[in-house]
Structure 1
Amino acid sequence: MIKDRIREDMKAAMRSHDADRLSTIRLLLAAIKQREIDEKIDATDDQVMEIITKMVKQRRDSVEQYRAGGREDLAGKEQNEIDVLSGYLPKQLTDDEVIAIIDEAVAAAGVTGMVGMGKVMGAVKAKVTGRADLGKVSALVKARLTAK
């Protein structure tokens, strides 16, 4: 399980006195624990992936804001956290791989035009969650559906 790997990485970060990595891992474990308490569940690997994906997205937004504000020091810190968190995500899909999945979903759904956007996104989201930025995927689906 991913949670076990995260805990082992936390121990390793403690042993090596890697304060930045340790801090990020502790934030991740706290987010996982919070979700488990809120929903009264034991988080599965898929749920942990959702949490990590959400945390990475939040940090990417923060990096943009910090850079726009001229705060490269804070942007760098956020980027370091993204690097640590991304290590737990599966290999990201290339644009070509995402487009192939979208084409397959469009063909399977048999939709044309933007009317089928929700149906196609539902099918695509199930296959790419945690492996591609859903905002980017949404833009690619819109482009495919308007082109047809």
Structure 2
Amino acid sequence: MSIANNLTEDLKTAMKEHNKVALNVIRSLKTALTNEKVSVGHDLTDEEELTVITREVKQVKESIAEFKNGGRDDLVAEQEQQLEVLSKYAPEQMSKEEIDKVVEETISEVGASAMSDFGKVMGAIMPKVKGKADGNEVNQSVKAHLS
């Protein structure tokens, strides 16, 4: 079942259950997918759909961090509920160990040995982990392995 079909079914369920958080998140996600479809001018591939979902998850995580810095615990809780709903549609995230393993393999592949090779390693690794790992975590892992 495609993501769009899942969203439609989950939207119906959220309406029946009067789950306002899920309802808002699903509507927002459907809108983001539709906007992306219009933007690219064709039906989205599975990879493009996952890119949109990953972008939405990233925005919610950034909002959580900003609200925590601002001391807005009420909004943090709301955003965490939204993240919980969004996570259902996001691809499974890689663990720290899995990220480290991919970083080590990529460093070997490109022959990197110093921090000056950072850009080359990041350029090679990001397509491998796209949607499956947070860029900041990958960045930190690469820095740790190269230093």
Give the drift of 1:102.
0.6
Give the drift of 1:118.
2.5
Stretch deviating more after TM superposition (28-37 or 127-136) = 127-136
For structure 2, the 5+ residue unaligned runs are none
Give the drift of 1:41.
2.0
Deviations 1:69-113 (A, max 9, x none): 221111111111111111112222111111000111111111221
In structure 1, the residue matched to 2:109 is 108
Q: How does 1:134-145 map to 2 (within 5 A)?
A: 134-145=135-146
Q: Distance in 2 between matches of 1:124 and 1:15?
A: 43
Aligned length: 146
In structure 2, the residue matched to 1:74 is 75
Q: Distance in 2 between matches of 1:123 and 1:33?
A: 30
1:87 aligns with 2:88: yes
Normalised TM-score (structure 2): 0.91
Q: Distance in 2 between matches of 1:42 and 1:108?
A: 35
Q: How does 1:1-148 map to 2 (within 5 A)?
A: 1-146=2-147
Instruction: Determine helix, strand or coil for the equivalent of 2:80.
Output: helix
Q: Distance in 2 between matches of 1:136 and 1:143?
A: 11
Identity %: 36
Give the drift of 1:17.
1.7
For structure 1, the 5+ residue unaligned runs are none
Give the drift of 1:45.
1.5
Instruction: Determine helix, strand or coil for the equivalent of 1:24.
Output: helix
Normalised TM-score (structure 1): 0.91
Task: Detail structure 1 runs of 4+ shifted over 3 Å in the superposition.
Answer: none
Q: Distance in 2 between matches of 1:40 and 1:108?
A: 36
Q: Distance in 1 between matches of 2:53 and 2:131?
A: 8
Q: Distance in 2 between matches of 1:99 and 1:119?
A: 16
Deviations 1:6-47 (A, max 9, x none): 222112212222111011000001011111111212111111
